[in-house]
RNA sequence: CGGGGCGUAGCGCAGCCUGGCAGCGCACCUGCCUUGGGAGCAGGGGGUCGGCGGUUCAAAUCCGCCCGCCCCGACCA
């Protein structure tokens, strides 16, 4: 007889043999609850900033999410491929993104001094593949996808796998002959994503979104609703409008009392810089202040005016200026242009720069601005008189209660975690890279593309963020690492034998089951069981000794019922 | 990139100010005991005190440089 493998002796899903390093206390490095719980439950361990290893329990959850995605993508007719993480610079130079992707694109050279990067996304690679292989409209439509690691050298990785530098992503790309085809595929992916996140047991919301570095015409983000989310959403309950606040159009009514223009006056404001400080110092409301913001957009510097109580929306500014990124001008630039230290910039006397203003400034009279001079502000400033009339655009961030741009009812603001993002790319990449096909008339035309991403690890973290209590994780059934956990509470042979029989039987019935056969006291087993969040706990202990029945405890509700061991497999496999 | 904090056993931390044996709790190993919500007793193992350099008879502790991690900011005008 063959010797039994010492690692799998008695079956591999025994906790006494399972690599599950749980932590009794919160690790100090973790801030948000999902990160703490993933570390404590032995799902992940950090290797370096934003770089994580998935341990067996965590990997099982990751795989379950992956498999839901795979099933739904396949069902939608997409075909799975696997592309390289390492990508040659040449492809990125073709689309121009080598230059303007920014420092999160990790670049390096191989031994022959050829330039490469770690792929933060795969538009270039897929477009290269398809331009080489697809010739005819007969090959269309086509959707390809992969589930593979990505690398983005984030400024500030945080929250564990929620904002990691290396992360697992599902990315899909659609290719069509025309806009109509793209529209069909975009809708198909929208529906597929809805199915995926619903199956993962998440409460989520699809919102209109900015297209950012990926580009394209239209896009939606799928947001898991959570207070710890990094994105703010504007949602209208009345008509269903929902948008990332970065994008949400502001249709705020600006009603300003008619008042005569008063003479310009300079006021000393020593050391008074921020809006709150200036307003308090001069005894006026922040709505009477106009902030003067200097931005660097490529080589150009632009000046933007906005009412003091409002927030400037950099995404709107970036899209208006049609540049890949805008950033606040540094102190040196501010001083050179305004002649004053940061905190005292104003539009009066500025020249040689483009002057923009948010709609909130239009109609505003006798406002307060910096005087372009240290420790001084102007009162009673009026555009058209004291400085040239600026170009007005919608450049502010939507606020709670602003009117919905579609129906006018007040908007709600909530927070969300972006787990999915879909884009209509159009011909941006196909034209740049010459990815064309021959249509029915034999004309050469660029492929019309879409792209569709899901953060797999982030989805796991978001699910935990939404499903936990003070004792630990409560996994939604579809993504739980196991369906049931057998707790053997006591060292007696009879308990062990009964547990082992149950364990074998459940496995034979196809129920994913883990058995806590460790020589630990009941308290330890209960605590770990609640922490790792497996939906059902099967307790073989006191009740079994007394009655021969076991207890079935549901993790989510804490409900316990007594049940005969024989009826368990049927109950759990349903 | 700017500001702040931290780095001492696997985890959580004290010791540092005022230099003089490297500690506590949990975890781990052995034995006894115990078995329904992170038990108890006894014994034990484990440390480049983030790194390098300096000051000193003597450095976890003081000084300098570097590295790493966490938080906040990058919307200040």
Q: What pLDDT was estimated at residue A9? A: 63
How many Å from the CA of A155 to C1' of B62?
A: 35
Q: Say which nucleotide is closest to residue A524, CA to C1' distance.
A: B38
**CB of A418 within 7 Å of some strand B atom:** no
- What's the CA gap between A432 and A423, in Å, rounded? 17
Question: To which H or E segment does residue A218 belong?
Answer: strand A218-225
How many Å from the CA of A344 to C1' of B46?
A: 60
**CB of A470 within 7 Å of some strand B atom:** no
Place of tokens 């502010």: A396
Three-point CA angle A181, A186, A190, nearest 5°: 150
Q: Say which nucleotide is closest to residue A294, CA to C1' distance.
A: B77
Handedness of CA A141, A146, A147, A152 (dihedral sign): negative
**CB of A240 within 7 Å of some strand B atom:** no
Q: Say which nucleotide is closest to residue A334, CA to C1' distance.
A: B77
Across chain A, which has 574 residues, the per-10-residue mean pLDDT values are: 60 88 90 93 91 94 97 98 95 90 86 92 96 96 97 88 93 97 97 97 93 79 91 92 90 83 89 80 87 84 89 87 79 80 85 88 90 88 92 90 91 92 94 96 96 96 94 96 96 93 94 95 96 97 94 97 93 80
pLDDT, one tens digit per residue, over A268-317 is: 888 777 787 888 888 888 888 898 888 888 778 889 999 988 888 888 88
Q: Say which nucleotide is closest to residue A292, CA to C1' distance.
A: B77
Token code pair at residue A112:
């022959």
> Following DSSP, what letter does each residue of A516-539 receive, concatenated?
E--S--HHHHHHHHHHHT-SEEEE
Residues A362-387 as b/e (b if ≥16 CB within 10 A, e otherwise) read: eebbbbbbbbbbebbbbbebbbeebb
Q: Say which nucleotide is closest to residue A490, CA to C1' distance.
A: B35
How many Å from the CA of A503 to C1' of B31?
A: 32
Token code pair at residue A481:
């690492």
Q: What pLDDT was estimated at residue A47? A: 86
- What's the CA gap between A247 and A320, in Å, rounded? 12
**CB of A529 within 7 Å of some strand B atom:** yes
> What ipTM did this prediction achieve?
0.92
Q: What pLDDT was estimated at residue A383? A: 92
- Strands A448-455 and A166-176 turn out to be antiparallel
Q: Which nucleotides of B are covered by protein (CB under 7 A)?
A: 1, 11-13, 25-27, 34-39, 68-77
Strand ranges, E, within A329-482? 354-358, 367-370, 376-381, 391-393, 412-426, 436-438, 444-446, 448-455, 468-469, 472-473
Q: What pLDDT was estimated at residue A3? A: 53
Token code pair at residue A329:
């001008």
Q: What pLDDT was estimated at residue A29? A: 87
Is A475 strand, coil or helix? coil
How many Å from the CA of A27 to C1' of B61?
A: 26
Q: Are A483 and A511 contacting, i.e. CB atoms less than 8 angstroms apart?
A: yes
**CB of A358 within 7 Å of some strand B atom:** no
- What's the CA gap between A530 and A516, in Å, rounded? 13
How many Å from the CA of A156 to C1' of B3?
A: 15
Q: Are A135 and A438 contacting, i.e. CB atoms less than 8 angstroms apart?
A: yes
pLDDT, one tens digit per residue, over A425-436 is: 999 999 999 999
Q: Say which nucleotide is closest to residue A159, CA to C1' distance.
A: B70
Q: Which of residues 276-295 of A touch strand B (CB under 7 A)?
A: 276-278, 291-294
Is A542 strand, coil or helix? helix
- What's the CA gap between A420 and A422, in Å, rounded? 7
Q: Say which nucleotide is closest to residue A560, CA to C1' distance.
A: B36
How many Å from the CA of A87 to C1' of B48?
A: 40
How many Å from the CA of A177 to C1' of B17?
A: 74
């Amino acid at each position: 007889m063959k010797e039994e493998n010492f690692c799998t002796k008695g079956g591999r899903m025994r906790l006494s043999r399972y690599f599950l390093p749980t932590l009794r206390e919160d690790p100090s490095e973790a801030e948000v609850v999902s990160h703490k719980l993933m570390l404590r439950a032995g799902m992940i361990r950090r290797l370096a900033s934003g770089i994580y290893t998935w341990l067996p329990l965590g990997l099982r959850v990751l795989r379950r999410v992956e498999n839901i995605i795979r099933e739904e993508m396949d069902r939608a007719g997409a075909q799975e491929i696997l592309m390289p993480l390492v990508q040659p610079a040449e492809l990125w130079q073709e689309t121009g993104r080598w230059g303007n992707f920014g420092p999160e694109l990790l670049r390096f050279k191989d031994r022959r001094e050829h330039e490469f990067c770690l792929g933060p996304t795969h538009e270039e690679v897929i477009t290269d593949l398809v331009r080489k292989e697809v010739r005819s409209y007969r090959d269309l439509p086509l959707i390809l996808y992969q589930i593979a690691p990505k690398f983005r050298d984030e400024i500030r990785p945080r929250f564990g796998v929620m904002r990691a530098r290396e992360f697992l992503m599902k990315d899909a790309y659609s290719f069509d002959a025309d806009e109509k085809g793209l529209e069909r595929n975009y809708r198909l992916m929208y529906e597929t994503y809805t199915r995926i996140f619903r199956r993962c047991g998440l409460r989520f919301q699809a919102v209109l979104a900015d297209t950012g570095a990926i580009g394209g015409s239209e896009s939606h983000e799928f947001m898991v609703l959570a207070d710890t989310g990094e994105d703010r959403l504007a949602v209208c309950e009345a008509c269903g409008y929902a948008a990332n606040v970065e994008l949400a159009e502001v249709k705020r009514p600006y009603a300003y009392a008619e008042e005569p223009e008063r003479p310009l006056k300079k006021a000393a404001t020593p050391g008074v810089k921020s809006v709150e400080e200036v307003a308090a110092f001069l005894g006026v409301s922040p709505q009477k202040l106009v902030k003067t913001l200097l931005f660097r957009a490529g080589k150009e510097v632009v000046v933007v005016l906005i009412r003091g109580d409002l927030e400037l929306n950099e995404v709107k500014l970036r899209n208006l200026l049609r540049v890949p990124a805008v950033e606040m001008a540094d102190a040196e630039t501010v001083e050179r242009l305004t002649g004053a230290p940061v905190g005292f910039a104003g539009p009066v006397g500025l020249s040689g720069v483009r002057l923009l203003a948010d709609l909130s400034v239009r109609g505003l009279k006798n406002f307060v601005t910096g005087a372009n001079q240290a420790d001084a502000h102007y009162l009673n400033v009026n555009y058209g008189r004291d400085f040239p009339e600026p170009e007005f655009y919608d450049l502010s961030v939507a606020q709670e209660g602003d009117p919905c741009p579609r129906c006018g009812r007040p908007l709600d603001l909530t927070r969300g975690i972006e787990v999915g993002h879909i884009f209509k790319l159009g011909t941006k990449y196909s034209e740049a890279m010459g990815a064309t096909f021959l249509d029915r008339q034999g004309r050469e035309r660029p492929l019309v593309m879409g792209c569709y991403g899901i953060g797999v690890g982030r989805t796991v973290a978001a699910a935990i963020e939404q499903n936990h209590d003070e004792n630990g994780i409560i996994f939604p059934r579809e993504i739980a690492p196991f369906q049931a956990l057998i707790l053997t509470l006591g060292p007696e042979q009879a308990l062990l034998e009964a547990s082992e029989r149950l364990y074998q039987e459940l496995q034979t019935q196809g129920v994913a089951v883990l058995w806590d056969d460790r020589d630990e006291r009941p308290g330890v087993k209960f605590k770990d069981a609640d922490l790792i969040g497996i939906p059902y706990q099967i307790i073989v202990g006191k009740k079994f000794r007394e009655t021969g029945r076991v207890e079935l405890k549901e993790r989510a509700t804490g409900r316990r019922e007594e049940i005969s061991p024989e009826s368990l497999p049927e109950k759990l496999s349903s």
